[in-house]
């Protein structure tokens, strides 16, 4: 299974073109196209209802596309091919674990579905920090622990492609950070990762490239840096002493007048601090779609 990675895989791990899905009359995904390379993390950033989950469901065989097509590891996703399913890992938005089984039993059972005789359930649980709870029933787990279980289950078959639907949604910062680290480790091993989120920090931090998804359409797709370069305006925030108080000035960086003013300020004895402020992905999202990421 592993042998295919990097060596024989030449094309993209995920290749989507003109993909559409309609729920009855509602067009949830409106003909989107993108590729994900092996070892790449593509972040799908968009508010609730943007069509992120619907896209993942189509790519993992849960929904049949209404139009367009997609290949994962070179296999058409609408063929419902067990060979493809053997090589992908999925983390669902809803936590769907066997609550009456222990953490280890959950993993071992799913491993058995992949025909894995001797799964390293303990190793996988260690990676998500659940090694000491391996034999406890998932029923007794907190929300964050269950989410970590979801991630570990997606890893159990050492997949070549990972689909992660909001993997850190609603988690405390420490747990979220731990999960992001394991996702990054997978990508470093050469796994292609498609990750959805409505958290701009997560998208920024984790993704090699980010796709802005709004109302079923990709409105921008690039590296976080390029997105900021292209759409964001950086600014400089200056703090000055003024009498007994402090005054703040903000100057856009791509402004000629700003350059003159800032040059003058550099030598001023009243200057306290001066730092650039980067546009966030959320700012750019709002600029492109007229709406924020919340709700």
Ligand X SMILES: Nc1ncnc2c1ncn2[C@@H]1O[C@H](COP(=O)(O)OP(=O)(O)O)[C@@H](O)[C@H]1O
Tell me which residues in 52-71 interact with other proteins (CB under 8 A). Answer: 57, 60-64
Q: Which residues contact 229 (CB under 8 A, 6 or more apart)?
A: none
49 binding ligand X? (CB under 6 A): yes
Choice between 52 and 153, CB closer to Mg ion: 52
96 binding ligand X? (CB under 6 A): no
* Burial of 215 from C-beta contacts in 10 A (0-12 / 13-18 / 19+): middle
Min dist CB 13 to other proteins, Å, is 16
- What mask of x and - would describe binding to ligand X in positions 8 to 37, judged by CB under 6 A? ---------------x--x-x---------
Min dist CB 272 to ligand X, Å, is 43
- What mask of x and - would describe binding to other proteins in positions 142 to 161, judged by CB under 8 A? -----------x---x----
| Token pair belonging to 150 | 């979801």
Using an 8 Å Cβ cutoff, are 146 and 138 in contact?
yes
Using an 8 Å Cβ cutoff, are 169 and 93 in contact?
yes
88 binding other proteins? (CB under 8 A): yes
From other proteins, ligand X, Mg ion, none, interface partner of 79 (C-beta below 5 to 8 A by class): none
Cα dihedral 46, 48, 54, 56 in deg (nearest 10): 50
Give the C-alpha separation, 115 to 177, whole Å: 32
Kindly tell me which residue out of 17, 48, 96, 181 binds ligand X, with binding defined by CB under 6 A. 48
Number of residues that bind other proteins (CB under 8 A): 31
From other proteins, ligand X, Mg ion, none, interface partner of 46 (C-beta below 5 to 8 A by class): ligand X
109 binding other proteins? (CB under 8 A): yes
Give the C-alpha separation, 227 to 230, whole Å: 5
Give the C-alpha separation, 209 to 44, whole Å: 9
Q: Which residues contact 177 (CB under 8 A, 6 or more apart)?
A: none
Footprint of Mg ion (CB under 5 A):
52-53, 93
Footprint of ligand X (CB under 6 A):
23, 26, 28, 46, 48-54
């Amino acid at each position: 299974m592993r042998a295919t990675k990097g060596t024989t895989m030449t094309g993209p791990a995920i290749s989507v073109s003109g993909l559409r899905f309609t729920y009855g009359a509602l067009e949830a995904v409106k003909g989107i196209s993108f590729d994900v390379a092996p070892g790449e993390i593509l972040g799908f950033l968009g508010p609730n209802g943007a069509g992120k989950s619907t896209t993942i469901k189509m790519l993992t065989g849960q929904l049949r596309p209404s139009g367009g097509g997609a290949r994962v590891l070179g296999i058409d996703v609408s063929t419902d091919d067990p060979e493809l399913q053997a090589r992908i890992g999925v983390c669902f938005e809803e936590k769907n674990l066997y609550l009456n089984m222990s953490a280890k039993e959950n993993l071992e059972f799913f491993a058995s579905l992949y025909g894995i005789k001797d799964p390293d359930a303990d190793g996988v649980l260690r990676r998500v920090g659940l090694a000491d709870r391996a034999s406890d029933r998932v029923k007794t787990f907190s929300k964050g622990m269950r989410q970590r279980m979801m991630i570990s289950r997606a890893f159990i078959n050492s997949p070549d492609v990972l689909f992660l639907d909001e993997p850190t949604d609603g988690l405390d910062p420490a747990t979220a950070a731990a999960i992001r680290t394991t996702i990054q480790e997978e990508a470093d091993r050469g796994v292609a990762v498609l990750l959805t989120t409505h958290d701009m920090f997560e998208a920024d931090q984790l993704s090699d490239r980010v796709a802005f998804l709004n109302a079923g359409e990709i409105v921008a797709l690039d590296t976080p840096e390029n997105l900021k370069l292209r759409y964001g305006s950086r600014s400089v925030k200056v703090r000055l002493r003024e009498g007994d108080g402090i005054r703040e000035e903000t100057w856009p960086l791509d402004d000629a007048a700003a350059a003159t003013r800032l040059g003058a300020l550099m030598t001023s004895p009243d200057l306290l601090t001066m730092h650039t402020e980067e546009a966030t992905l959320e700012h750019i999202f709002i600029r492109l779609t007229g709406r924020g990421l919340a709700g």
